[in-house]
Amino acid sequence: MTKYTDQGKQDTRSGYGAGMTELGRTNPNVVALCADLVGSLKIETFIEENPERFFQVGIAEANMMGIAAGLTIGGKIPFASSFANFATGRVYDQIRQSIAYSDKNVKICASHAGLTLGEDGATHQILEDIGLMKMLPGMTVINPCDFNQTKAATLAIAEHHGPVYLRFGRPKVANFTPVDQKFEIGKAVMLNEGTDVTIIATGHLVWEALLAAESLENQGISAEVINIHTIKPLDEKAILDSVKKTGCVVTAEEHNYLGGLGESVARTLTMHHPVPQEFVATHDTFGESGTPEQLMEKYGLNNKAIEKAVLRVLKRK
Amino acid sequence: MPNTQELQDLVVQVRRDILRMVHKVNSGHPGGSLGCTEFFVALYNEIMDLKEGFDMDGKGEDLFFLSNGHISPVFYSVLARRGYFPIEELDTFRLINSRLQGHPTTHEGLPGIRVASGSLGQGMSVAIGAALAKKLNGDDHLVFSLHGDGELQEGQNWEAIMYAAGNKVDNLIATVDRNGQQIDGATENVLPLGDVGEKFRAFGWDVMHIENGNDLDQVIAGLKEAKSRTGKGKPVCIVMTTEMGNGVDFMMHTHAWHGKAPNDEQLANALAQNPETLGDY
C-alpha cells in the first residue's frame, strides 16, 4: 500500500496558527477575532505582526460572532476563533442569523474539537459540532487531518466567499500530508487505493485509518482509504466511485454518529448506491476526562476500532 | 435636504404604509413601527450621509442596522420612499416569494438591508463590527443602530455594550427605543430595565436622551447632537422615549398592538387620522 511518513507530530491548531501567520502577510483583508484563547489557538504571530487587524473580544463568543459578521460589511474577511464547543453550540443562533442566513463571509475556526482535548472533560469536548454546522444552509464544513492540511485549509478558506466552519484539535498527531499539497474545498483526497472495503475518514481519524489499512493488508484485506476533509459540500462522486468498486464502507470520525460524516455518507449511499456501512464514531454519548489516547480507546475511535469495523462490514457484503 | 413640512408629510405617509402593509396580510408589528416613524424618517432623510444606490460594503457612507427586526414595516416604507426599491413593492410585505420578509434579511437581496435581524439582541454586535471595519478602512462615516428596550434583556447586548466602550468604538450611535412595552406587557413588569441611560453610562458610553421621540424636531436635533459627540473616544447612546402606536389614538398607551394588525374598520379609522400626503403605494 501507499506509504505515508509522519514528518513529526504536531497539533492541527498550530497548522491554523501557521496559516494565519501567512494570511497576515499576504491578505490585508484578513482579520482575526478571539475570545480569550489566543495561546490555545496559536495566533500570537498574526497578532504580533498585525495588531490593528486583531480583535480580542474577551469571554463573549456571541458578541464575537456578531462583530465578525459586521466586519464583513466593509470587505474584511474575519477569522473568528475559539474552542469548538464555544464556537458552535454556545452561539448557534448568532451564527444562524447574523452569519449563515445573512450570507456573511465569516470563517469560524474551532480548536479542541472532539474527545482529544482530553482532561478538561465533556463540558469542553463537543461531539455534535459537525452536525450543528452542516445543517446550516450555505455553511461549508471542513475537518482537516493534520498540521499541513490544516494550514492549507486555512489559506484556502480565505479565498472562498461564504461562511465556513473549520474544525481542528488540540493534541499532537502525525503530520503526514505533503507540505505543499493544495487544499481543494469539497474535493476528497485518495490516500490508498484498495478493492475490498472503503474507509472514509475525517480529521484525526485519517491517520488511524491508514494504520488500520496497513494492518488489514497484512491480513490480506485491501482497504481503500479516502480523506474527506470537507464534510459539506461532500465529494459524493469520490465516495460512490469507491464503493462501486469495494461494495462496503467504514466511516471514521471524532464525532457523534448522529449528525456526523457517517450520516452524510449514508445519505449519499442510500440515494445512489446502497451498500453495507459501519460507523466508527461516538454513539450518542458525552465524553469524559482522560488522556486523548485513553479516550480514543475507550470510545472506539482508533485504528483498532476501524479494523474491527472493517471486519464487521466485510461479513455484511 | 427636505424642509420640515416635507418630512412631516413623509412621516404621515409612512404611517399609512405601515398600517396598510400589516392590514393586508393580517400580521406584522405596527406598534413599534409607528413609535419609531419619526426616527427613521429623520435618519434616512436628514441625518445619514448616503451614497446613491446600494452596495453591501457601504464604504464612504453612513450605515444603519436595525436590531429589533420586527419593526420591519417602518424600515421597508422608509427605505422604499428613500429610493432603495420601488414603493409598489411594499404591497408584497410578508407574501410568498417577496423580498419583504416578515423580518428583514439580506437573503432575498432587498437593497438597504445589510444583515438579518429578528432573533433579538444581535444587532449591536454587528454594528460594532461594521464600525470597526470603517476604522480599518480609514472611512470616517458613522454607524447607526436601533434597539428595542425590551430587547436589552438579551445578554449579548451587554457583551457588545462592554466591548464598544472598552475598545473606544466612537463612530457608533446606538439608539434605544424606550417605549416601555414588550409582548407580555410593560418592560418594568416583565423584567425591569431600570435606568437604561445610567446602565450604558456605567459601561462607559456617552449617553444622551431624546425626551419625545415622536417630535420630529426633537429627533433631528437629538441625532445631530449625537453626531457631534462621535469621534471623542466613546460610543454614543441615545435613549429615545417613544409612544408605541404613535399617530393612531387607539393604538397608543398600550402594548396590545405590538404584533397585531388592524381589521377593516380599525384601518379606516387609523387612516382617517393620517390623511394621504405623498400618495399611497
pLDDT in tens, A151-205: 999 999 999 999 999 999 999 999 999 998 999 999 999 999 999 999 999 999 9
Q: Which residues of A touch B140 (CB under 8 A)?
A: none
Fold entry, domain A10-173: Rossmann fold (3.40.50)
ipTM: 0.97
What torsion, rounded to 10 degrees, do the Cα atoms B16, B223, B51, B172 define? -120
User: Given this model, what pLDDT does residue B4 score?
Assistant: 86
Tell me what the mean pLDDT of segment B239-259 comes to: 96
Q: Give the phi and the psi of residue A198 in degrees, each rounded to 5.
A: -105, 125
Domain A189-314 classified CATH 3.40.50.920? yes
Q: Look at residue B143 and tell me if it is in a domain.
A: yes
Cα–Cα distance measured from residue B30 to residue B25, given in angstroms and rounded to the nearest whole number: 12
Chain-chain contact of B122 with A94 (C-beta, under 8 angstroms): yes
A172 touches chain B (CB under 8 A): no
Q: Could you list the residue range(s) of the whole structural domain that residue B60 is in? A: 4-272
* pLDDT tens readout for residues B152-161: 999 999 999 9
Q: Which helix (H) or strand (E) holds A167?
A: strand A164-167
Domain boundaries, given as residue ranges, for chain A: 10-173, 189-314
Q: Is 0.90 topped by the overall pTM?
A: yes
pLDDT of B260 reads 95
State how far the Cα of B264 lies from the Cα of B258, in Å rounded to an integer: 18
pLDDT at residue B81 in the model: 98
Q: Are B47 and B89 in contact (CB under 8 A)?
A: no
Q: Over range A289-308, report the average pLDDT.
A: 98
Residue A208 cell numbers, joined: 488511524
In a domain, B278, yes or no: no
Nearest residue to B252 via CA among B223, B273, B268, B227: B273
Q: Which of A52, A67, A76 sits opposite B125 (nearest CB)?
A: A67
From the CB of residue A46, how many other CB atoms can be counted at a distance below 10 Å? 27
Pairwise CB contact (< 8 Å): A76 & B133? yes
B280 within some domain = no
Q: Give CA A200 to chain center in angstroms.
A: 13
Contact B227, B142 (CB under 8 A): yes
Percentage above 70 pLDDT, chain B:
100
The full 3-state SS of A66-85, as one line of letters, equals: HHHHHHHCCCCEEEEEEECC
Rounded to the nearest angstrom, the minimum Cα separation between B8 and chain A is: 32
Q: What is the CATH number of the domain that holds B253?
A: 3.40.50.970
Asked if A66 lies within 8 A of B122 by C-beta distance, the reply is yes
- Is B45 among the domain residues? yes
Asked if A60 and B163 come within 8 Å (Cβ–Cβ), the reply is yes
- What nine digits make up the cell of B212? 419625545
State pLDDT tens for residues A89-145: 999 999 999 999 999 999 999 999 999 999 999 999 999 999 999 999 999 999 999
Averaged over B223-246, what is the pLDDT?
98
Domain total in chain B: 1
CA A119 to chain centre: 21
Q: Residue A57: its pLDDT value, please?
A: 98
Residues of A in contact with B139 (CB under 8 A): 74
Instruction: Tell which residue, A161, A25, A67, A265, has the closest CA to residue B169.
Output: A67
Identical fold between A10-173 and A189-314: yes
